[in-house]
Structure 1
Amino acid sequence: MSYRSFPSRLALFAVLSTAAGCTHLPPPRIADAQNAPVPQPIRSADATTAEVQLDVLTFNIEGLGWPARRGRGASLAQIGETLARLRREGRAPDVVLIQEMFSAAAVRAVQAMGYPNMIVGPSRTQRKRMAGTPAMAGPFRWKKGETGMHLVGSGLAILSRYPIVAHDAEPFGKHRCAGLDCLSNKGMVHARITIPGVPQPIDLFDTHLNSQGASRVPAKRNGEAHRLQVGQLAHFIDASAQAGAPAILGGDFNMRGSTERFDRFRSTSRNFTLVHQYCEANRALCDVRMSWDGDAPWLDTEDLQLFHDGALVAVRPVRVEAMFDGADGLPQLSDHDGFRVTYRLRWTPDAAKRPATG
């Protein structure tokens, strides 16, 4: 979350307080599983394995309202209309992980995408439930947003063409943020989906971690908030994930250019594989359709995805590409490009005979 060119802090608080009261999050949208699309598995020539693909987009839609942003309504509406059109044409991602769905226009855009299953992250007033998570130390920079009062929700949502059979959300909580990021009730959201024919459900996680310079507080302070949030994210995943299930984690991790933040995050997420690192090391197995510069392209972006295998289902990225980056007829409509990953889910036919749980 970042704020640029805003008026006085008191005016900012007054306007955002009013805006927060006008932004109502939609209730969960859960479609009847009996009407879920059924993908056709591809079987190997020797019939020892079967596989389907799962296409996941993570996208920070820059859905802040005035005065943090001006004139975002048209671009947000176009994002929603574009994904709705791609869905009608059968070319949309199967899953979308959204960040910065703060304004009423952003909520309308996400709803307009038309996915049959949708859950949203922590609301403005949701309180944390996880115990034992430390808080930031004072003195608090109330003039920089550290008032202990959240003016908007987390801005998170997960949308899926496949049934969502379980979901949960958890905010980082009061005084577990730094600077202007504290104006939103940032946190984490989880959805478990089932894909007909796949022998295990898939756990999906979406998050938005504390920003760096945009937080308007010193690096030591915003870095400490990021550290606390990374620990909470790991705790939330452990508590929410189904034992032995495959999982995909995405979001805006706010680690661009920071080896310190990245190394700290990877030290607590070692059971996940980073898509950028896998595809950089396995170019013959992963179709990279976007420009990656330098030796560590994962440090050139805030937007990442990670994955891990399940007990019965192996997960591997087979294609990565950008969306809404000005190419392929999709104009840039946010200050972030969408990051789209196509995964191959592979299992043995014997595993497919076992009932999926969820």
Structure 2
Amino acid sequence: MLRVPELTTALALILTGCTPPGTPSGGGTSANGTATPARLKVASWNVEHLAERDGEGCRPRQEADYAALRGHAEALGADVIAFQEVESKAAAERVFTPDKYEVVIEERASAGAQGGCYGMPGQRLRPQKVGFAIRRGVPFTRNPDFTALGLGNDNLRTGVDISVGASAPLRMLAVHLKSGCNSGRAPTDRDCDTLFAQVPVLEQWIDTRGQEGAPALVLGDFNRRLASRNDLVFTDLDDGEPAASDLSLASGTAGATCKSKYREFIDFVVLNKSAAEQAVAGSFQEYTYDLPEEQHPSDHCPVSVSLRTAS
């Protein structure tokens, strides 16, 4: 496990080269791209109600709190971070600073503050979006957002889709699925109904990547204990058809340690067969804050894995 203040400096030594053709991340290849590192560390991190401005949202923070998050982001040492529960690009850039990362975030329209925060009079819920922070120097292309995952409901998160690497790119999808159905399936549970409506949509994205022969990863907060034996969501996603879409969890059978009362992960890096073949054995890590739980800067700890890349 990584512990602060350990810094993964090796991953910052990125090979330099010619910038590939294309446009900035709004439409094509990132202008920051040079050459893909021989190993790429990818992570998922639910930052918990990350607001754009001090004192706002259901996890109100001050500048010192944002500074602490920046320190954890650097200590994580990942080249690509899929993030969740972030209000805006500006909010993300308070943690993943523009001098070090390029941020892409879902383009889903938002009405702004939406409802109150439980037990916090006067605080208003801010939009929760998903996206990626990509370390500068790592070439990537932004693909159209995977809007189908939102089921036509603006209150559901969509997916952010990128291709990372100058040649033989890794396809990555950042997600944050419906909460409230972390195991089983109650027949009258609306949260479970919504989650299980998202499953075949996500499966279609995975199967399409398999049919294309592309190594692909889905990273994010699944709000589901996918590693539980015979979990209904994971068995639906990993149905063996097509064969190239055979799935594995980077965490394997490891248990979670971030919160003492939660022993199973709900945050995952899911790899298809081609991506799993590129995963570095034993590289899965759950980042730990090395702080008392009441001082954790988020209610989730990042998870990560390293992959070998094509030169």
Residues in 1 aligned to 2:192 and 2:61: alpha-carbon distance in whole angstroms: 29
Residue 32 of structure 1 corresponds to 31
Q: Could you tell me whether the CA contact under 8 Å between 2:171 and 2:217 is conserved in 1?
A: yes
Looking at structure 2, the residues matched to 310 and 274 of structure 1 have their Cα atoms a distance apart, in angstroms, of 13
* 1:204-237 deviation digits (Å, cap 9, x = unpaired): 11100111179xx997110010001122212234
In the comparison of the two structures, how many residue pairs are matched? 255
Gap runs ≥5 in structure 1: 1-25, 40-51, 127-142, 145-150, 177-181, 281-287, 353-358
* Mapping 1:128-207, distance limit 5 Å: 155-161=129-135, 162-171=138-147, 172-173=149-150, 184-195=155-166, 200-207=168-175
2:13 matched residue in structure 1? none
Of the three residues 271, 287, 291, the one matched with 1:307 is: 271
- Of all paired residues, the percent bearing the same amino acid is 20
Of 44, 69, 72, 1:58 maps to 44
Task: Tell me if the contact between 1:77 and 1:108 (Cα under 8 Å) persists in the aligned partners.
Answer: no
Bigger shift: 65-74 or 97-106?
65-74
SS in 1 for 2:251: helix
Match 1:112 to one of 84, 94, 97: 97
CA distance in 1, matches of 2:275, 2:43: 24
| One-letter amino acid of the structure 2 residue matched with residue 120 of structure 1 | I
> Which residue identity does 2:97 align to in structure 1?
A
2:107 matched to 1:122? yes
Instruction: Mark the structure with the bigger radius of gyration.
Output: 1
Shift of 1:122: 3.5
- Label 1:325 to 1:194 Cα distance change in 2 as closer, same or farther (>3 A): same
For 1:8-19, list aligned pairs within 5 A: none
* Alpha-carbon distance change, 115 to 255 in structure 1, aligned in 2, over 3 angstroms: same
User: Secondary structure at the residue paired with 1:168?
Assistant: coil
1:234 to 192, 198, 203: 203
> 1:211–1:317: structure 2 CA closer, same or farther, 3 Å change rule?
farther
Aligned to 1:223: 192
Q: Are the counterparts in 1 of residues 49 and 59 from structure 2 also a CA contact under 8 Å?
A: no
Between Structure 1 and Structure 2, which shows a larger proportion of helix residues? Answer: 1
Q: What does residue range 244-323 of structure 1 map to in structure 2 within 5 Å?
A: 244-256=213-225, 262-270=231-239, 271-277=246-252, 291=257, 300-310=264-274, 314-323=278-287
Q: 1:38 to 1:275 in 2, by over 3 A?
A: closer
Note the C-alpha offset of 1:304. 0.9
Distance of 1:332 and 1:234 partners within structure 2? 33
Going from structure 1 to structure 2, the CA distance change for 1:158 and 1:67 (only over 3 Å counts) comes to closer
Q: Which amino acid is the alignment partner of residue 205 of structure 2?
A: F
Aligned-partner Cα distance in 2 for 1:269–1:299: 23
How far did 1:262 drift?
3.3
For residue 18 of structure 2, what is the aligned residue in structure 1? none
Give the conservation status (yes or no) of the 8 Å contact 1:28–1:118: no
SS in 2 for 1:112: coil
1:73: how far off?
A: 4.1
**Structure 2 residues without counterparts, runs of 5 or longer:** 1-24, 117-124, 240-245
How far apart, CA to CA, are the structure 2 residues paired with 1:248 and 1:257? 15
The counterpart of 1:72, out of the listed 49, 58, 61, is 61
